[in-house]
Structure 1
Amino acid sequence: MTGENAASAPIEWLTLPELAEAVGETVGRVRRMLDDRQFAAVRRDGVLRVPAAFVVEGRPLSSLRGTLFVLHDAGFTDDEAIDWLFAPEETIGVPPIDALRQGRKSEVRRVAATLA
């Protein structure tokens, strides 16, 4: 199941209205942010959801957008990109989302670029 890896903690999910509240924007603006790849979303139980870890201090995680572009260029869907971001990555030592939140975007993108 997407976002549920045995080796990592379950992902906390936000619906679009919850995400809009978390970043202080309208749902319409959040949809544009999704289109602009500031976030990745998947349908779970028929509802579009975004991992809560993509929000830091009320803003989109700044290093996420470029990383999502790299993953999409490698052929990943949003579903697959989210799975990869939250799965332990041996070459990084932690799940890529943790490394991004630690400011290690170059390392994460270097590994992501090899996945094509």
Structure 2
Amino acid sequence: MSERPVAPAIAGDDLKALSIPEVAQRLGVPVSRVQQLVRDGHLLAIRRDGALAVPEEFLGDETVVKGLAGTVTVLRDGGYDDEEIARWLLEDDPSLPGTPIEALRSNRGREIKRRAQAMAL
């Protein structure tokens, strides 16, 4: 995999995260494709016990959650690193309610993109 940084271990043990091979199986793609998705910023990976893992909340049934890649891009362009982005996506926000990733999963992508754009300014 490339030099693209990944978020370190940021979430507690209660966060369900899948290994890269598990993500590949779930998406029905080769492991190299998942690595490319992480490298290109379409998917964020965290470190779990030294290995890369993808929070399960970042995945739909057979795809990456709609709007995740765009949100990651907006925040990266605004100067946020992958750890900050992953933390923001996974932390509870009482004004939503829930987490930004839950909002993306429930088709409230416009609100999340608007918030990401405001943060990036």
The alignment's TM-score, normalised by the length of structure 1, stands at 0.87
Alignment of 1:13-24 (within 5 A): 13-24=17-28
Aligned to 1:100: 104
Equivalent pair of 1:41/1:79 in contact (CA under 8 Å) = no
Alignment of 1:16-55 (within 5 A): 16-55=20-59
Equivalent pair of 1:54/1:64 in contact (CA under 8 Å) = yes
The alignment's TM-score, normalised by the length of structure 2, stands at 0.84
Q: Identify which of 70, 74, 78 aligns with 1:70.
A: 74
Give the partner amino acid of 1:3: A
Task: Supply the distance in 2 between the matched residues of 1:14 and 1:49 (Cα, whole angstroms).
Answer: 5
Equivalent pair of 1:86/1:97 in contact (CA under 8 Å) = yes
Change (3 A) 1:2 1:103: same
Task: Supply the distance in 1 between the matched residues of 2:14 and 2:67 (Cα, whole angstroms).
Answer: 22
Displacement of 1:36: 2.3
Does 2:118 match 1:110? no
Q: Tell me the SS of whatever aligns to 2:96.
A: coil
Deviations 1:45-73 (A, max 9, x none): 11011111111111111211001111212
Change (3 A) 1:10 1:74: farther
The alignment-based identity, stated in percent, is 35
Aligned to 2:4: none
Unmatched runs of 5 consecutive residues or more in structure 1: none
Task: Supply the distance in 2 between the matched residues of 1:70 and 1:90 (Cα, whole angstroms).
Answer: 22
